Each structure stands twice: as structure tokens, then as C-alpha cells.
Structure 1
Amino acid sequence: MASIKDVASRAGVSVATVSRVLNEHPAVRPETRTRVLAAVASLGYRPNAVARSLRTDQTRALGLVISDVLNPFFTELARSVEDEARALGYSVVIGNADEQPALQDHHVRTLIDRRIDGLLVSPTDGGSPMITETAREGGTPMVFVDRWIPGLDVPVVRTDGTAAVRDLVAHLHALGHRRIAVIAGPAATTTGSERVEAFRQALGEYGLPLPREYVGQGDFQAASGRRVTAGFLDLARPPEAIFATDNLMALGAMDEIRARGLRVPDDVALAAFDDIPWFLHTAPPVTAIAQPTGELGRAAVRALVDRIEGRTAHSVTLTARLVVRRSCGETGDGGETGHTDETERSSR
């Protein structure tokens, strides 16, 4: 295996010059840089990443702590984060919190110990001790993505679903649904509380009530969606439509509806927050609110790299949209619409 001394010998320069070229130091003549890089290529030299990080105080690695790797939304988010980070010259180390605050803090601590350059976090709750401490100390640049912790001076890259929820309620109302229930996510998460509040306000605009028995507490997991739906269907006056504020809870709701021999949307309509490709292939295809997940991940990486490299990082708010299919009693070819921006049919 070639060493840095071999590269210096091949290029006819000092080891220090090779080091400056590899660390992209500006004080190197273009012809010298070209000669060194040619020697690196011909010898197949690979710098020792650990040694380089000790010299430059950078690892070119970002940490990403997501709430649930099994949730398709976070899987897609992680993919876009990796793609954008790689394009900017960074690698990504991922930690899955599995919606557990203690496990989340474990990953944050481990990533900081590994000397990552910056941290992206989608918090599992409203006040994680390790995240709060890291944000207030300011030693590791951090950006919140999707979810955030109020009161911390950390840039947030998120999606505002308020307008899309209002569009969904208008859509359900136009289809004749009046008894509409919601499967809520954890109230301690910003997304959990925000989506329910947007839903409640939208119902109010149409003079529709939201009785206590039509609000079921879930945890962004499929099992909770099924459990809450069972409670709704056992009511003396069950809802005509159910809005699940997360894709996994929507799948759990669909399982419970089918297990009772009922049909979507004939017996009960179903809609979801967080569109996923699977929803296009269920029977019937699910009407859902889609987040621009790819852009969410890319924007979060750009904001974090700005912080790492000494530039001002700003919070970013993107907009969700309603994708109409056939799970709420729609007619027509809604099930034929695709998942991409070019082919999805969204409500205006």
C-alpha cells in the first residue's frame, strides 16, 4: 500500500506539500497540485481518514438520528440526506431511536464521541436531555429536521402541513363525511400536536365537531393505529372517516377495518398524513398528505453544512400537499395516479 512519502517521491515534492494538496490548501501552485494528484491516482494512495481528522479537526462525517428507521418517511429522508451529504463531500452515520428518548440520547452521545462534524436530529420527544445539552453548549453544530424542540436556538427544516390538512377536511366534507375521527401521534412531538391542532381548526371552519371519543392517541406505530381504530369502530356512532396522522398508523387502521370484514371506503373512509409509494398499490389506493421528503433531507444537510463551515444557517419551511386517490369515496381513476411530482394528482 502506497504511503504519503511514496506520493511525495513520485511527484517530486515534499510530504508537507502533498499534505497541503490533500487538505485543499489554497497556497499551492496549480501545476504542483496537478502533479501531486496524478501521483495519488497512479499509486492508488488513500489518505488515512482518522489521521486526517486529527490534523484538520474535521472528520467530514455527519450524524443523523431518526425516530424510526422502519417508517418509510424516515427511510426516504435518510436516503436524501446521504445523497446530498455525499454530493457535498460528507459521509453520514445513522442512529435509529425507535421512538425511544433514551435510545435517541445514546445515539447522540455516541456520534459526538466519534467526532462527527455536525448532527441532524428528528427528536422523538419534546425535551431530550442530551439534545438539549448539546444545543445549549453549542460545541457540535446541529439542525432539527421534520420535528424540533421548541425553545432551543437550533435551525429547523420542516414541512408545514396546515394548508394540506385544511384541503383534506374540505375534501372529506365535499364527499359528504361529517363524523370524522383522528388518530393522533404523540402529543410531546411537534408533528404530533401540530397535525391534530390543524385538523381541529379545519373542522371548525366547516362547523364540524371533534368529540373527545373521536380523538385516539397513537404513537406513530402501526399497532397503535389498529388499536385506536378498534376503539372508534366499537362506538355506538362510529366515525364515517378516519384521518391517521402518520402512514404506519394508517396501515394499522386499514388492518383493523379489514379484520372486521368492513371495507374502505364503503364502510369507513381513511386518509393519512405522510404519503408513501405503498399507498398507490393498496386496495383502494390511499388518499394522503405528501411531504416533499427528498427536498426536506437535502435542505437539512445544506443548513447543517452551512453551520459547520461558518456560514449563517436559516430555518426552512416547506409545504405539504394533498394527494387524492380512492380511500375516501372518490370516484374516477384516482388509483392510477403516481407517487412522483409529475404524475400525482393533488387537490387544489
Structure 2
Amino acid sequence: MASIKDVAAEAGVSVATVSRVLNDHPSVSADARTRVLAAVEALGYRPNAVARSLRTDQTRTLGLVISDVMNPYFTELARSVEEEARALGYSVIIGNADERPDLQDHHVRTLLDRRIDGLLVSPTDGGSPLMLDAARAGTPMVFVDRWIPGVDVPVVRADGRAAVRDLVAHLHRLGHRRLAIIAGPAATTTGSERVEAFREALGACGIDLPDAYIGQGDFQAESGRRVTEGFLDLPEPPEVVFAADNLMALGALDAVRARGLRVPDDIALAAFDDIPWFVHTDPPITAIAQPTGELGRAAVRALVDRIEGRPPRSVTLPARLVVRRSCGEGGESGESGRTGADGQDGDNSARNRSQS
């Protein structure tokens, strides 16, 4: 493997000149720069990133800790983060917390030990002393999707409250009155916020949310299956199950089908976090879509601003309702606008439900 001395000899310049060219220093003549770059190409020389980081105190590397790599939402988020970071000259090391606070902290500790320049985190809970200490120590950090209240770190997230109100109003127009939710972990900001938004939206329509219609999930499919089975066993099951993330929605769909029931004929289903698969289910699932790619790109830009000495800022983007056919919309669903099938009640007249 060629060394920097080999490059210098090939180009007929000093090692210091090669170093200045590789670090894009302006005090190098055009001729010397051309010869050095030609020698680098001819010898296949690759600079030692570790040695360079020791000289510059930068590794040009970002850390990303996501909550669950199996969740398509976080997979898309990670992809957009990596693409934007690469465009800005940074590499990304990804850690998967698997919705476990201990594993999250393991990844954060490992990334900090590797001298990353900055950290993007979607926290699995709100009580990590490690991240609190890192933020207080001045580690460049941005929370994405989820955040830890009280920690002075920029947050890049989607606001789903308006989309949840649109969803509940849509369900109300379709004639649904018994609405249940599979909630995410209360220790996460997204878990608690989505339940509260759902409760407020129901209240605006004059609908209560009984305790029996709130099922505690963990943002993974098995909990969606378990909670939905409990709903179906109630003396008066809900007419709609709203899953607070996509994996729990898929678990709910499995539970409904395992009982020999059909969506939406026997029970309707909606989800937070739209994914490409939802258009391929039977029926396609009505969902709230987050601007995932935009979130990832905005999070990287905020973090790089912090690293490079520019004032970072928090970013909040709107989520939107995508209407399909899993709530009894019939053939009038659509994906343009926020609600699509306003006023359409599909074939709900064939079902008996209590009216409020």
C-alpha cells in the first residue's frame, strides 16, 4: 500500500506539500497540486483517516442511534441521514437500539469513544443520564423524531397532531364512534404525544376514550397483535383500531385475520407512520405519513451547523393523513391532500354501530 512518502517521491515534492494538497490548503501552486493529485491516482493512495483526525481533531464522522432498524420508518430515516451526510462530506456510523435503553446507551458510549464529530439520536426513553451528560458536556447532538424534554438539544421532528385530528374527523364522518388506540411506550415523547393527540381529537368530536380502548404497545408488531386480541375480546369491541406506529398496525392486522375477521367489514384499522407496504395490503391501510426523508436531511444539516460553529435550530414539519380503504372508505380513497375522501361513508351502512 502506497504511503504519503511514495506520493511525494512520485510527484517530486515534499511530504509537507502532499499534506497541504490533501487538506486543500490554498498555499500550493497549481502545478504542484496537479502533480500530487496525479501521483495519488497513479499509486492508489488513500489517506489515513485516523491519523488525519488526530491532527485536525475531526473525524468527519457522525453517529446515528435509531430506535429500531427493523421499523421501515427508521430504515428510511437512516438512509436519508446517510445520503445528506455524504453530500456534506461526512460518513455515518449507525447503531440500532432495538427499542432498548441499555442498548441505546451502549451505542452512544461506543460512538463517543470513537471520537465522532456529532451525534443524532432518536431516544428510546426520556431518562438516559448518559445523553444528558453528553449534552451538558457540549457534545454536538441533535434529537430526531423523538426527544428528551428538558435537554437543551435541537429537535427535528414531525408534528402529527393536525393529522391525527384529520384522521379522527374522517372516521367520525364515516360513522365510527368506538375508536381505540394501540399506544407506544409512554416513556417516549412520540408514544405519549400520539395518545394525547388522539384523545383531544376524539373530544373535539364529542367522543370519549375509555381506558379499555387504550392498549399499551411497544412500537413492535407482537404488541400490536396482543393488544388487538384484547380489544376483540371486549364485550363491546371497538369499531376502529388506530395503531400508533406501522409495526403495531401490522400486528393488529395479523390478530384480526387470525380471528377470521376482515378489515374493514368487521373492524377498521388505521396507522401512524405510513410505509410502502400499506398500499399492498388488502385493503390498503389508511395512515398518517411523516416526511421521513426531509426529517433525516434536516437533522443532518442541524448537526453539521452545530459542528461547524453555526447556530443550529430545531425543525418541525407537518405529518399528513393518507386515506385508503381500511376504514370503510369504499372506492373513494385517495392520497392527495390531507384527508382525501371527505364525506365518504363507503359501505358503513351495512354495519351496526352505536351512535353518539
Q: Shorter-chain TM-score: which interval?
A: over 0.9
Match of 1:197 in 2: 196
* Deviation per residue, 1:272-295 (Å, 9 max, x gap): 000000111011110000001111
Separation of aligned partners in 2, 1:312 and 1:8: 40
* Deviation per residue, 1:213-260 (Å, 9 max, x gap): 111111101111111111111111111111100001001111111111
Q: Does 2:67 match 1:36?
A: no
Separation of aligned partners in 2, 1:345 and 1:228: 31
Match of 1:347 in 2: 339
Match of 2:179 in 1: 180
Match of 1:220 in 2: 219
Match of 2:346 in 1: none
Deviation at 1:89, TM superposition (A): 1.2
Deviation at 1:36, TM superposition (A): 2.0
Alignment-mate amino acid for residue 323 of structure 1: V
Would the aligned equivalents of 1:185 and 1:246 in 2 still touch at CA under 8 Å?
A: yes
Alignment-mate amino acid for residue 190 of structure 1: T
Match of 2:284 in 1: 285
Would the aligned equivalents of 1:181 and 1:210 in 2 still touch at CA under 8 Å?
A: yes
Separation of aligned partners in 2, 1:295 and 1:151: 25
Deviation at 1:30, TM superposition (A): 3.9
Would the aligned equivalents of 1:76 and 1:294 in 2 still touch at CA under 8 Å?
A: yes
Deviation at 1:345, TM superposition (A): 6.1
Would the aligned equivalents of 2:213 and 2:231 in 1 still touch at CA under 8 Å?
A: yes
Match of 1:96 in 2: 96
* Deviation per residue, 1:311-339 (Å, 9 max, x gap): 111111111101111000012164xx6xx
| Mapping for residues 192-271 of structure 1, pairs under 5 Å | 192-271=191-270
Alignment-mate amino acid for residue 92 of structure 1: V
Deviation at 1:172, TM superposition (A): 0.4
Would the aligned equivalents of 2:163 and 2:338 in 1 still touch at CA under 8 Å?
A: no
Separation of aligned partners in 2, 1:28 and 1:198: 59
Deviation at 1:344, TM superposition (A): 5.5
Alignment-mate amino acid for residue 84 of structure 2: E
RMSD: 1.4
- Mark the CA change 1:192 to 1:6 in structure 2 (over 3 Å): closer, same or farther: same
Deviation at 1:309, TM superposition (A): 1.1
Separation of aligned partners in 1, 2:109 and 2:34: 41
Would the aligned equivalents of 1:105 and 1:129 in 2 still touch at CA under 8 Å?
A: no
Q: Describe the SS at the equivalent of 2:80.
A: helix
Match of 1:324 in 2: 323
Separation of aligned partners in 1, 2:273 and 2:38: 48
Identical columns (%): 81
Q: Describe the SS at the equivalent of 2:260.
A: coil
Would the aligned equivalents of 1:147 and 1:191 in 2 still touch at CA under 8 Å?
A: yes
Q: Describe the SS at the equivalent of 2:127.
A: coil
Match of 2:82 in 1: 82
Would the aligned equivalents of 1:11 and 1:39 in 2 still touch at CA under 8 Å?
A: yes
- Mark the CA change 1:263 to 1:345 in structure 2 (over 3 Å): closer, same or farther: farther
The TM-score with structure 1 as length reference comes to 0.95
Alignment-mate amino acid for residue 15 of structure 2: V
Unaligned segments of structure 2, at least 5 residues: 341-356
Alignment-mate amino acid for residue 17 of structure 1: T
